[in-house]
Amino acid sequence: MIGAGPYGLAVAAHLRSAAVSTRVFGRPLSFWREHMPKGMRLRSPWIATHIADPDKRYSLDVFARETALRRQDQLPLERFVQYGDWFQRQAVPDLDPRKVLRVENAAPGFRLMLEDETVIHARRVVMAMGLAHQELRPPQFAGVDRALVSHTCQHAALDKWRGQRVAVVGRGQSACESAALLREAGSQVDLICRDEVRWVGSAPGEADRARDWRWRLRELLQAPSAVGPFPWNWLNELPGLERRLPDGMRSWISARSLRAASAWWVMPGLDGVGVLSGRAIKGAAARGGKVAVELDDGVREYDHVLLGTGYRIEIAKLGVLAPELLGMVDCRSGSPTLGQGLESSVPRLHFVGASAVDSHGPLMRFIAGAGYAGRSVTGHALAHRRSAKHHTAHTVGAAQRPSQPDLGMGPAE
């Protein structure tokens, strides 16, 4: 298992519960800890924030009872990281923090090179690296010094630009929440986006009586994981079914379910933020230690530009798979084509989490999908093990049967 985020930990918990020998490499929730700004809150509701284990012994509810955590939607990032650390100590206490530098094909298995030059061999590898190295940088900012233009995933805190003028590009959850956190930290902030910000949900009690029934109806139609609009949200709960849809239909559903939007509770934090919606960015250039951003209505200068422009999956950018092995993985637009058990075209090489969205639907971008990933990978591994045992027993049995003499009369019965 390469990666110790929610997916890596959940899949490992399922494999170990099924007595499948498993080693997990990575630092627990390192992406959440090191690449998401402090002060952020999770968009997923409480019910969709459990890191899955097969017996539900390490759910968020259990953690909350043991630590006196009050149940709340929009769980603070810091509390979720604490929960992830607790889950890891319970389910994967022997986590190996060493970094895997390279995975090579060594059929019928794989050879892994670790950061301390240790080499290990594995019959099966599960890639659970999440969104590492998958950030999307618009071409308008190509060539601009990265000290002046950075992505939201590059920062664990945003208070370094206190008193400075910052532009945030994007209109999704990450962009809007980053703009709010920057403003709270004392920055002068503009939020630049091509279209109006789309807000998801609304607070109960805010609407008048005429609209209240609509809020209640929306709550009734909402699927547990809250991924996508009705009715696709209910289909998204079933990745095993969704993977059987035609590629074009699955891509359409994913695009609609994952389109840029921000949760309603971020809205008050944008008070004082200049929202420049409906603006196209034509280009950007460094100018005297600042960034000159050319919009369709003129040029504006900023001390820094923060890109909340999302991610685009390209497994080549994970930087771990050896070129020969990478070339063996069938992909579509950079994402691996995955079958049953989230297995790639390379036998016993699996991809879980964000890398599985293209093949299994948008639930794979969220914590709620980790349970399906754990069950799917484990079921596939057990089926393969049963098949191998059956084949071995059949081969041994055939070898132990006494040979029949060749009497020139055709095959013996």
d(CA 362, CA 50): 17
- Tell me what the mean pLDDT of segment 336-358 comes to: 98
Q: Say what the alpha-carbon torsion angle 308, 3, 95, 88 is, to the nearest 10 degrees.
A: 50
Q: How many residues does the chain have?
A: 413
Q: Which CATH class is domain 139-198+260-307?
A: alpha beta
pLDDT tens for 28-43 read: 999 999 999 999 999 8
| Residue where the block lists tokens 């890639």 | 127
- The pairing of beta strand 149-151 with beta strand 304-307: parallel
pLDDT tens for 227-245 read: 999 999 999 999 999 999 9
pLDDT at 412 over 70: no
- Domains of the chain: which residue ranges? 6-134+312-389, 139-198+260-307
pLDDT at 204 over 80: no
What pLDDT does residue 388 have? 65
CATH 3.40.50.720 fits 6-134+312-389, yes or no: no
Q: What is the pTM of this model?
A: 0.90
pLDDT tens for 32-88 read: 999 999 999 998 999 999 999 999 999 999 999 999 999 988 899 999 999 999 999
Residue 263: what residue type? A
pLDDT tens for 266-315 read: 999 999 999 999 999 999 999 999 999 999 999 999 999 999 999 999 99
